[in-house]
Amino acid sequence: MKDNDRAVASSTLLLSGLPEDIRERLLDGARACVFERGTTIFLQGEQAQAIYIVLDGWVKLYRIAPNGAEAVVGVFTKGRSFGEAVAFRNDRYPVSAEAVTWCRLIRIEADLLLRQIRENPEVATSVLSATFTHLHALVAQLEALKARTGAQRVAEFLLELTENDDGACEVTLPYDKVLIAGRLGMKPESLSRAFAKLKDHGVMVRQNKAEIDDVEALRSFAEEDPANAWAR
């Protein structure tokens, strides 16, 4: 791994709370891996053999329903980790993971993590913290699906991509619109309709770019009472 890789890994919720010597021990036994777009990282039902930290690119976690439909559980980018809970339990992956862009990941072997947990209880606390964050994100995702219109969900997604608090800005859509729709619990045609509705709120989408006229105004729309949004 490069020095910068260690810096990214050390800043993650999984490792940032650990004493430096324990963190370095885990990273000394880790390695950086490259995955091309569309490559499977692991499959649902496989024995959990590793935890991953994203260095560059985007990874999606998904499940395949009995009818063959794909449900996107989460999409992760630089500085995010996944696979901790099942590695902690020496269990099987409940989801599949796929590189949706070219990406580099840090792979930490599950056996190494479990050995460190037995020797250093602080590691277990870090795993639980990361797992809680994943759970909180899933609860927020469920709330958005139940209590937000499609256009509001898309607005929230765009706001996650910008670092601006106000004013105009342009953001790049990080992956294709089919995956964006899946992440937001929508069909591609519903996503297109949502983008069209956002024109009234100062958002213009062209190819993989979204131009936002007023970030603060878009945030107000995203947080608006859904009853008012549905009435539009």
Q: What is the pLDDT of residues 56-66, one digit of tens each?
A: 999 999 998 78
Order across the sheet with 40-42: list the strands: 40-42, 96-99, 59-64, 70-76
Q: Is the Cβ–Cβ distance between 35 and 105 less than 8 Å? A: yes
Cα of 78 vs its chain's centroid, Å: 9
Mean pLDDT of 200-207: 92
Q: What is the DSSP string of 1-43?
A: --HHHHHHHHTSHHHHTS-HHHHHHHHHT-EEEEE-TT-EEE-
pLDDT value at 14 more than 90: no
Q: Phi, psi (5° rounding) for residue 10?
A: -70, -20
pLDDT attached to residue 138: 66
Where on the phi/psi map is residue 193: left (φ > 0), alpha (ψ -120 to 50), or beta? alpha
Q: Is the pLDDT of residue 232 over 60?
A: no
Q: pLDDT (tens digit, 9 = 90+) per residue, 163-190? A: 888 899 999 998 989 999 988 888 899 9
Give which of 223, 99, 206 is closest to 159, Cα–Cα: 223
Q: Which domains does the chain have, with CATH numbers?
A: 3-145 (2.60.120.10), 148-230 (1.10.10.10)
Q: What mean pLDDT is reported for the chain? A: 86
* Tokens coding 151: 């256009």
Q: In what order do the strands lie in the sheet with 50-56?
A: 31-35, 103-109, 50-56, 81-82
pLDDT at 144: 61
The phi and psi torsions of 45 (rounded to 5 degrees) equal 95, -15
Task: Decide if pLDDT at 217 tops 70.
Answer: yes
d(CA 61, CA 86): 14
